[in-house]
Amino acid sequence: MPDKDAGTPRVFLIRHGETEWTISGRYTGRSDIPLTPHGEEQVAASREVIVGPGKIIDPSRLAHLFISPRTRAQRTFEILFDEKTRKEIGAQAEITEDIREWEYGLYEGLLTAQIRAGRKERGLDTERPWNIWHDGCEEGETAAEVATRLDRIISKIREIQAPYMHGEKGVDVIIIAHGHILRAFAKRWIGFELGMRLPMMLEPGAVGVLSYEHHKVDEPAFLLGVNMGGT
């Protein structure tokens, strides 16, 4: 059966490698926590399999990269691409606060159980437990604020990719960021409100893929599986 969507542009969601707070489950937004040695190994392992000429992420087919300003995301970028490649794609790399992690406000550095206990003490959540997708973060961001900045990036990506929906030119895009914000991005990519239930997992150092159906920019989709042999 022929691949009817072959050549369609893709967006690669790359989560930074493990940090000490990833291990403990603490909410890590603005805190600049470095990768652990194992976190660097996670990213390097992904690089060996999927990054390089003729592989899934082929630097020659990249049109743009959106990278979080946090050290853990910057280091992930450095591991994914060697110095020569970083120089070649440097003009396409954009470090932007629009793809930073969710602003957790009062919840920075806490565990979910601690957040819920604290909110209960303050008389909140009398009918159901706290849920970031619905309730946002005290002194941090609401879901609507997160969606607004993610939609700006999505609009930029669609402008880049729309003219080349049949593979006329390599216009793949990479986003290197964080666990919550990348899952939020995936929801907005397919037009979901952030409060809509869509359980997703993205391990540290892992790669997710988004694309389009039928070579149409107005039909964004998840790409549930990719051929590991590349393009």
Active site annotation includes 18: no
Q: Which two tokens stand for residue 144?
A: 């609507």
Residue ranges for the known binding site are 28-29, 72, 101-104
Q: Which position has the token pair 């194992």?
A: 38
Q: Which two tokens stand for residue 220?
A: 């964004």
- From 18, 40, 64, 101, active-site residue: 101
- Using a CB cutoff of 8 Å and minimum separation of 24, what contacts does 79-84 make? 79/17, 79/40, 79/43, 79/44, 79/47, 80/14, 80/43, 80/46, 80/47, 80/51, 80/176, 81/47, 81/51
Active site annotation includes 127: no
Helix 179-189 × helix 143-161 angle, to 10°: 60
Residue ranges for the known binding site for substrate are 28-29, 72, 101-104
Enzyme catalytic residues? 16, 101
